[in-house]
A and B are shown apart, each in its own frame.
Chain A
């Protein structure tokens, strides 16, 4: 039974996506319960998979009974199981959160929205469980195409933003496909485990080097690393609130997972050790991303756009952690820590941003005056997330920076420490401005004597506050070492490092 869990976790949302589409014709009321029910089941399944992976090692399911390398394999290792739990929970929370805003914005097309939403979730969960590089491409496109359509639903310039996202995203996907083509041409295999075994004797060949560059560039576009981030701020800004939450937290992390899987399972750490200068270059790009993203964020007046640029900076943190892997004993620990932390923090922030738009139609940071008293719960959650992002001690962001700086010092790349601190300073500049306006600056006119509390509906508030509290709860969880087995298992699976937090 447990060996079939990976198949169920994509079959369920996939069939439900069609179910939601048809339910939209006949039982309009059944659509939303179906979506939440299915996503809830996915969370349970992901929990079951996580449990099974830690009891019996990685789950491998051969589709159609064809063993690899001939058949397509679903392969969930500890990293995949960890990400499955994260992504399915975020999808569920974002679905609960999105309900009120979707119903007001898209009156008669709600069923289509949820159908696409489930397809996006299917694509993301599929990326996390597949063990085949071509299958990964297809699922990446399933997720991306639903993502383009969902971004296009938004207001303002959403259509053009979505179009640009599509054009640039397709370039990224095509680069990845070319990379796979080269790998297939030299090895004749598409299975990740098999490729990892066949590639070492071929590390010196041009085809493998070119494949590496194409795959790296393709994913750099998908994760919006600094010079290739142009699509991302528009897409995050104009997407409907619920979709901003999902693509900024879960979708971005899924692409990062795919990059990590390709780098460490297909190319392995030995390849990276051979081409260290290239990896150091990646580290410098990440540092540039951290600083440039923060500088652009300072210039923004639109809150969602500022968060989008902040995501560019934070992807820089994760990529820097990945680039340091061959030089430290911590392996992927700092990267994993920040993938979880940033997903939770950014989801909470985008939920707060969406709540401000839903209740008061305010997206300009300058207009946020008085929100601290009008929307106390949402503002408090946002405050917690901002403190966690800046890195106040027991919070999630503090743990990230702690492990990242330790890794940098271990790798003896001291300029990077300066980059981390500088980008943190810039973060304080642009996030503290928001806190100041929400809580301190008085409302212009008229000065209300008794401010009415006008909170968003409970279904929007609860996920937001829950994630806000989680940003501080995760810090102690990491420090207490509750998630250490996950990190250790991931590092062992990829043959990295030794220590874990």
Chain B
């Protein structure tokens, strides 16, 4: 039990990532409402983003901005004093990707609602006239 607690506490960020991922996946798989599926998708993407951000963190480090001017050139930056900026930069891009995905998903959801008058996946499938060519899994 002790060992398990230590596992969880020392690697809290990873456990949180996994927990959030599972929440997201659960919503995407089990929810029938399309918007809830989209929310699940966004939680999943956020979990990944947070994981990357937590990788870059360091104890006692500050934001990686070098002050120009006076004595900046005198003391060369020591990497341990700054958190790793690369994961943040990567995640800026990943957030852009996530937002675009969200945009496309919501646009599709709006169109589906206009076409069917409902956002419930089971209802939409039931409303479609069963056509012979759609047999099979």
Contacts and interface: CB of A to CB of B under 8 A. Distances in A.
Interface of A: 134, 137-138, 141, 145, 148-149, 152, 157, 159-160, 162-163, 166-167, 170-171, 174, 177-178, 181, 184-185, 190, 230, 233, 296, 299-302, 305, 309, 363-364
Contact of A300 (B34, B108, B109, B135): B135
Given A166-B101, A166-B108, A170-B101, A302 B134 contact: yes
Given A137-B94, A170-B41, A181-B55, 17 more contacts: A138-B93, A138-B97, A157-B128, A159-B108, A163-B112, A166-B104, A166-B105, A167-B105, A174-B44, A181-B52, A184-B87, A190-B90, A230-B137, A233-B136, A296-B136, A300-B136, A302-B134
Interface of B: 25, 28, 34, 37-38, 41, 44-45, 48, 51-52, 55, 86-87, 90, 93-94, 97, 100-101, 104-105, 108-109, 111-112, 115, 121, 124-125, 128, 132-137
Given A301-B132, A364-B132, A177 B55 contact: no
The binding surface of chain B is classed by DSSP as helix
Contacts of B108: 148, 152, 159, 162-163, 166
Contacts of B132: 301, 364
A79 to B, nearest CB: 26
B132 to A, nearest CB: 6
Given A174-B48, A184-B87, A159 B135 contact: no
Closest 8 pairs (CB-CB, A-B) = A302-B133, A299-B136, A141-B97, A163-B108, A159-B112, A185-B55, A301-B133, A177-B48
B69 to A, nearest CB: 25
Interface centre among A138, A159, A184 (most CB of B within 10 A): A159
A145 B133 contact: no
B101 A145 contact: yes
B109 A163 contact: yes
Nearest to B45: A174
Given A152-B111, A181-B55, A167 B28 contact: yes
A366 B25 CA distance: 40
A364 B108 CA distance: 27
B134 to A, nearest CB: 7
28 contacts: A134-B90, A137-B97, A138-B93, A141-B97, A145-B104, A148-B104, A148-B108, A149-B104, A157-B134, A159-B112, A160-B124, A163-B109, A167-B38, A167-B41, A171-B25, A171-B28, A171-B44, A174-B44, A174-B45, A184-B55, A184-B86, A230-B137, A300-B133, A300-B136, A301-B132, A301-B133, A302-B133, A364-B133
